[in-house]
Amino acid sequence: MPELPEVETVRRGLAPVMEGQRIAQADVNRPNLRWPFPPSMAGRLTGAKVLRLRRRSKYILADLSSGETLLIHLGMSGRMLISGDPLGRFVQEHPAAQKHDHVVLHMESGARVTFNDPRRFGAMDLLASNTVNMHPLLAAIGPEPLGNSFDEGYLISRFAGRNTPVKSALLDQKTVAGLGNIYVCETLYRARIHPAHKAGRIAAARVGALVPIIRQVLEQAIEAGGSSLRDFRQADGELGYFQHSFDVYGREGAPCRTPDCHDSVQRLVQSGRSTFYCPTCQR
């Protein structure tokens, strides 16, 4: 599932085509994805102007002139693809309709934004813009890791007394928004913290040091266009490239990249998810 860098990459790709533009026509080609679409979704989108595109955790939010906000979640295989941009930023002509083109937004400029999702684990919803933070998918989410409210003092306080493994603590969306398996593995490697250590037993200084490392990992991943492992594509159809920079994720059995470390990357399973780490560097 796309994590924060992938979703932010898609948001940045969509912004030049959607922000300030009116949706001339919205086509909704099925009644649901992971959940049913909201009533009269096509009619409510048609004619609305996109005032701003923003991101909250792993969700894209399009604030509309109608006073509603379109919430988009990519799920496992969802892609937002752009074609026909008249300003020349995207060279793709409008392709023929595909089987899994579930929602198509025809922008007034002539561009087309298509939500394609073969597995249908994605989601879209429409909600009043002034109630976004109360939406069930967003209400309990913690601070953004790239925002000012996520700092050393906050993370130390959240970890205090917790008996859960540090990896699970960082994956908890109530603690911090948008982190997923890939970037937590990479963060813990750079921090030299074993993923199974209990969060509440890690020294405060080491917990605080996680904050700048998390930001560094995320910013580098965004700069590289995210990580393409299976289905992820940027809004222009291109792959992300951060997977070529992984230190541990998906590298089981490969040599550790720390100079003078002669160990290899190992994998363990935590809460049904694969965790990759170096047993020598991460203690």
> Do 245 and 232 meet the contact criterion of CB atoms below 8 Å apart?
no
DSSP string, 138-196: TTT----TTSTT--HHHHHHHHTT--SBHHHHHH-TTTSSS--HHHHHHHHHHHT--TT
**Residues designated catalytic:** 2-3, 58, 273
Name the token pair of 123: 């989601």
Torsion of CA 92, 97, 98, 102, to 10 degrees: 100
Name the token pair of 266: 């190992």
Q: Which helix (H) or strand (E) holds 72?
A: strand 68-73
